[in-house]
Amino acid sequence: MAKLVDSKETIAVLQKTNFQFKKQFGQNFLIDSSVLEHILSFSEINKNDLVIEIGPGIGTLTEALCERAGFVVAIEIDDKLIPILEETLSSKDNFKLIHGDALKVNYLSLLAEHKEFSSIKVVANLPYYITTPILMDLLEKRLPLKSITVMVQKEVALRMKAAPGTKDYGALTLAVQYYSNPVIVQEVPPHCFIPRPNVSSAVIHLSLHEKTPVSVQNPALLFKTIKFSFMQRRKTLVNALSSGFHIEKKDLQAMLGSLSYPENVRGETLSLADFALIADGIEELQKKS
């Protein structure tokens, strides 16, 4: 089993290569081996897995993934880290490094190169400034992923896991839970990173649904309904949806009433199943207009 790099080794590698952290890439390297072990344990990586890692840094987690997985593809945007990764992972014959932006990678083409793997997992310490775009990109593409296990800002993890009626509940919650079942694995304090971030972090595990938990006529309309409902949280659902869809309030009130929702209902109190029903109701209203 690969030895996980500790803080002294990480610092030594950074000093040897004269690496300079770049704020625009949100670089905070994990140096707590116990947290890394927790990530590896919960992601349940084995030799049947193709693993995609986004933002491998200097390869601390990558080495351990290579020991456990059938094949590992790491995507790194910082050109200064490429030679470090190439040297660190030079002995691994089940590893590929892609130098590029994770939001611009052609994942379908990438997966086609590794058809022998039926189980595909994402494991990463994601840059916090781009966490949500990366996660939603992976989920919305409906890639054949089994799970996503990532380090994110604690606040974002809480939003993904939130329940209706709580302060963290919102559009991100519903989008993530439409595609997956999120479980917060571990909270991670700032001292576990170099440099230390100004926020606490958390490891979250998303088990991708084989079948979405709700049935809806038009998924795109569902997400528009959710988006408009949370653009101004304190607005009633009727006011929020009327502004967003340009539908008469009286028509929305009648539709919601037919579904047994009160006129003053707000989006923050509704479940994913509720939004699916309401989106289908809006679909029918639009067909009539």
Is 28 labeled as ligand-binding?
Answer: yes
Query: Is 76 a known ligand-binding residue?
Result: yes
> What are the residues facing 151 on neighbouring strands?
125, 203
Q: Tell me, rounded to whole angstroms, the distance of Cα 206 from its chain centroid.
A: 8
In single-letter form, the type of residue at position 179 comes to Y
Tokens of 217: 């006529």
Contacts of 136 (CB under 8 A, 6+ apart): 175
Amino acid in position 274? D
Paired tokens of 151: 């380090």
Q: Which residue(s) pair with 184 in the sheet?
A: 204
Starting from the edge strand earliest in sequence, which strands make up the sheet with 147-153, in order?
A: 95-99, 71-76, 49-54, 119-125, 147-153, 201-208, 180-188
CA atoms in the 13 A half-sphere facing the CB of 67: 13
Q: Is 218 annotated as a binding residue?
A: no
Contact between residue 121 and residue 45 where contact means Cβ atoms under 8 Å apart: yes
Is 101 annotated as belonging to a binding site?
yes
Helix and strand numbers (H, E) in the chain are: 12, 9
Asked whether residue 206 is marked as a ligand-binding residue, the answer is no
CA distance 71 to 89: 13
Question: Is 55 annotated as ligand-binding?
Answer: yes
Spatial separation of the C-alpha atoms in residues 222 and 276, rounded to whole Å? 6
Q: Is 98 helix (H, G, I), strand (E, B) or coil?
A: strand
Dihedral sign from CA coordinates of 224, 178, 121, 211: negative
Residue ranges for the known binding site for S-adenosyl-L-methionine are 28, 30, 55, 76, 101, 125
Residue ranges for the known binding site are 28, 30, 55, 76, 101, 125
